[in-house]
Amino acid sequence: MDFDYRLPNSDAPQILVRRTAIGGVRVVADGERVPGRGGVYEIAGSDGQAHLLRVTGAWTGLRAIADGWDVPLEAPVPLWSRALIVLPLALVIGGLVGVALGAVATALNAIVARTPLRVPVRALVMIAVLVAAGVAWAAVGSALTTMGSASVSYAVGTCLSGLTPGTDLVAKTPTPVACDAPHDAEVVGTYAAADAATYPGETALASTAGQRCPPLFRAYVGSDFASSQLDILPVIPTQVAWDAGTRDVACVAVTMDGSKLTSSVRNSHR
């Protein structure tokens, strides 16, 4: 949204103050963008004298302050509108998806807050945007949680085809198969990773799996992992899945040389 402004009692050029949807402010004088720092812009008059212009209220209602004059450029944004503008930012606790949805909802409500709609209508529209963002976050989170697991079970004892070291589980979903048919892997144990608000990282999760999986392997296969002919492939949550609430880690047995398994490894002492 653009606002025309001229410094009081000055021959400085006509100024255009522009507020972006995300709360940014730009100042343009004589068609040229004026660089600013901390909301303060230096405007040169025709006599060479510099005037300092301070622009405030990007979210509460723009005001231009210069040479002792405080000029409102737009009507103040009511407190309730400001609350509905910033509330969507609470979605940042939902990870990257929440950040994106929160930013979009905040920008939309910032626009709606300054429309000429009647107050009740404006309030309903802003509340609807807030609710829609929350519903969208919940829906996306639910979809991401089940992505890659809706069609495959990592339950203990499940035999899988299409799961080998290096498999991109986002692009490819392993297929459950009968354990007496040729298969690539078998789930020998699962556990829940320690909960944390931020994603620990694949390296940290894999390191923990290196400690948690061998005892589960021994209980299932019947032999120590250190002396086994088999290898362990941990299936850990990606950051997207973690942000959506997934904490389950699967310990999967595979062959050392990449050959197929032809029977279950349960109590096989391999």
Q: What tens-digit pLDDT sequence spans the chain (270 residues)?
A: 788 888 877 777 788 888 776 667 888 888 888 898 888 998 887 667 788 889 988 778 889 998 888 999 888 888 898 899 888 888 877 677 788 888 888 888 888 888 888 999 999 999 999 999 888 887 776 665 554 444 467 889 999 988 877 665 554 678 889 999 999 999 999 998 888 878 888 889 989 998 999 999 999 999 998 888 899 888 888 888 888 788 889 999 999 888 999 999 999 888
- Asked whether 65 and 54 are in contact (CB, 8 A), the reply is yes
Distance of CA 19 to CAs 61, 107, 152, 232, Å? 10, 12, 49, 56
**pTM > 0.75: yes or no:** no
Same domain assignment for residues 164 and 240: yes
* Nearest by Cα to 18 from 4, 30, 39, 38: 4
- Residue span of the structural domain in which 34 resides: 2-72
Task: Establish if 151 belongs to a structural domain.
Answer: no
Task: Establish if 122 belongs to a structural domain.
Answer: yes
Task: Tell me the backbone φ, ψ of residue 101, rounded to 5 degrees.
Answer: -65, -40
Task: Establish if 261 belongs to a structural domain.
Answer: no
Counting the structural domains of the chain, the total is 3
Task: Establish if 199 belongs to a structural domain.
Answer: yes
Task: Tell me the backbone φ, ψ of residue 256, rounded to 5 degrees.
Answer: -65, -35
Task: Establish if 192 belongs to a structural domain.
Answer: yes
